[in-house]
């Protein structure tokens, strides 16, 4: 039984058909590269898996059981973590506050439960170090570079033991060195049996870490192949529509 199964997922935004009958399977420890042109529906698919909004049609199953996520926390409770394309950060809060947003660490102070700042700063610092990022936990996000912001969004997914990590363009704004770190992280996640969906427009990244590549075009899945049986040229053709299906 697959860790995650998507069955005929469709999504309409009014007249826009963002997704049309997408089927997909994801096993533990599998890295899937999700590619497609701008507007192909990649982010929409991720948001449906993450419980941002329900699909118009179709079914999500985990371990064979049908899941209806009403809110993002529902998906998170099932071990689904997301790096959103827009990063979903609060500019007015510190890096650590953003990492822990929605699941703050607390400690007892007499009858009260107060935010445990030292613990959150320490844990956030650890996570940034693991990512080899220059991000400091106490810095405000609004003062950060694009790469540091991305590190905050990625660090967030490492707080709990996730089963599935969805990354929507996690390497779009970061340096070569940090891209390598993120790809390394993906490999480590894979070794721990965590499934990763990597959305990226950067062909080398996808080919470097993925077991499988899924190509979307105009809301439909046009290819789903093991990486060994395809090539960047074929994937490019699939993305642009020069090749219809594979």
Question: Which positions touch ligand ATP (CB under 6 A)?
Answer: 13, 16, 18, 36, 38-44, 85
> From the CB of 87, what's the least distance to Mg ion, in Å?
12
Residue 36 vs 137, nearer CB to ligand ATP? 36
Contact status, residue 75 vs residue 166, Cβ threshold 8 Å: no
Exactly one of 17, 56, 88, 237 binds another protein (CB under 8 A); which one?
88
> From the CB of 132, what's the least distance to ligand ATP, in Å?
26
Residue window 129-158: x/- pattern of binding to another protein, with contact defined by CB under 8 A: -----x-x-xxx--xxxxxx-------x--
Q: What is the DSSP letter of 109?
A: E
CA distance linking residue 215 with residue 34, whole number of Å: 6
Contact status, residue 131 vs residue 155, Cβ threshold 8 Å: yes
CA distance linking residue 233 with residue 214, whole number of Å: 14
Phi-psi region of 142 (alpha: psi -120 to 50; beta: other; left: phi over 0): alpha
Residues recorded for the chain = 246
Residue 34 vs 133, nearer CB to another protein? 133
Phi-psi region of 17 (alpha: psi -120 to 50; beta: other; left: phi over 0): beta
The contact set with another protein (CB under 8 A) reads: 50, 52, 71-73, 76, 82, 84, 87-93, 97, 101-104, 106, 112-115, 134, 136, 138-140, 143-148, 156, 173-177, 179, 202-205, 207-208, 231-232
The contact set with Mg ion (CB under 5 A) reads: 43, 85
């Amino acid at each position: 039984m697959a860790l995650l199964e998507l069955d005929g997922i469709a999504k309409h935004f009014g007249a826009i058909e963002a997704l049309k009958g997408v089927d997909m399977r994801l096993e533990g420890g599998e890295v899937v590269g999700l590619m497609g042109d701008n507007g192909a529906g990649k982010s929409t698919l991720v948001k449906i898996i993450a419980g941002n909004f329900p699909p118009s049609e179709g079914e999500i199953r985990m371990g064979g059981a049908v899941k209806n996520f009403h809110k993002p926390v529902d998906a998170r409770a099932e071990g689904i973590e997301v790096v959103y394309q827009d990063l979903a950060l609060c500019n007015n809060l510190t890096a650590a506050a953003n990492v822990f947003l929605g699941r703050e660490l607390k400690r007892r102070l007499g009858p009260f439960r107060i935010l445990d700042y030292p613990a959150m700063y320490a844990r956030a610092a650890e996570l940034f170090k693991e990512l080899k990022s220059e991000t400091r936990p106490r810095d405000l996000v609004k003062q950060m570079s694009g790469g540091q912001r991305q590190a905050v969004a990625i660090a967030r997914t490492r707080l709990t033991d996730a089963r599935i990590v969805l990354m929507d363009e996690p390497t779009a704004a970061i340096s070569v060195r940090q891209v390598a770190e993120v790809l390394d992280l993906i490999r480590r996640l894979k070794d721990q049996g965590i499934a990763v969906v990597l959305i990226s427009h950067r062909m080398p990244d996808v080919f470097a870490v993925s077991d499988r590549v899924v190509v979307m075009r105009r809301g439909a899945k046009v290819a789903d192949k093991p990486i060994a049986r395809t090539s960047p040229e074929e994937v490019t053709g699939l993305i642009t529509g020069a090749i219809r299906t594979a």
